[in-house]
Structure 1
Amino acid sequence: MPQSTTIQQALYMPFSRDSWAQLRNAVPLTLTENDLAELRGINEKVSLSEVTDIYLPLSRLLNLIVKAKQQRGVVLNQFLGQQEANRTYIISIAGSVAVGKSTTARILQALLSHWPEHPRVDLITTDGFLYPLEVLKRKGLLQRKGFPESYDMKLLVDFVSAIKSGVAEVQAPLYSHITYDRLAETVSVRQPNILILEGLNVLQTELDSPVSIKRPFVSDFVDFSIYVDAEEKWLKEWYVDRFLQFRSSAFADPHSYFHHFAKLQDDEATKMASHVWDTINGPNLRTNIQPTRERAHLILKKGAHHAMEQVLLRK
Structure 2
Amino acid sequence: MAWFGKKDPLQIVAFRTYGTPDHLYVRGRALEDETIDLAKKGPLQLLANSWRRFETDEIRHTPLRLHLPDGREVALKTDSHGYYVLNQTLGNLAPLAGEEGWLPYEVSFDLEAEAHPILGDNRFPGSLLIPPANAAYGVISDIDDTIMHTGVTSYLKWQVIANTLFKRAERRIPLHGAAALYHRLHKGRSGTGANPVFYVSHSPWNLYRYLEYFLQMNGFPKGPILLRSMATLLGRIVEGHIPHKEHEILNILNTYPDTPFILIGDSGERDADIYLEVARRHPGRILAIYLRSVRHGRKMRRVRRLIALEAEVPVLLVDHSDEVLEHARGLGLV
The reply to whether TM is greater than 0.5 is no
> Greater helix percent: which structure?
1
Q: TM-score normalised to the size of structure 1?
A: 0.28
More strand as a share of residues: 2
